[in-house]
Amino acid sequence: MNKDSKDKKGSSGLAIGMCLGLSIGTAIGAATDNIGLWMPIGLSVGMCLGLVLNQNKDDDNKDDTDNEQ
């Protein structure tokens, strides 16, 4: 696996987390009539979840490559 494909895989979890977090934050903000507060909160939470997802994927990939050797 070359470096470029690893970078593309690593960013996907972060992007998905950001999109989901922003969507959820916007929905909560619209429901509470305070979008300015909930959009950045949702984005921050989504980024954290995306990074956690990436970390779990990286750990799973390490286990797979260790077993192949």
Do 53 and 13 meet the contact criterion of CB atoms below 8 Å apart?
A: yes
- Rounded Cα–Cα distance for residues 36 and 67 (Å): 48
Q: How far apart are the first and last CA of the chain?
A: 14
pLDDT per position as a tens digit, 34-69? 999 999 999 999 999 999 988 887 777 666 666 665
- Is the pTM value of this prediction over 0.75? no
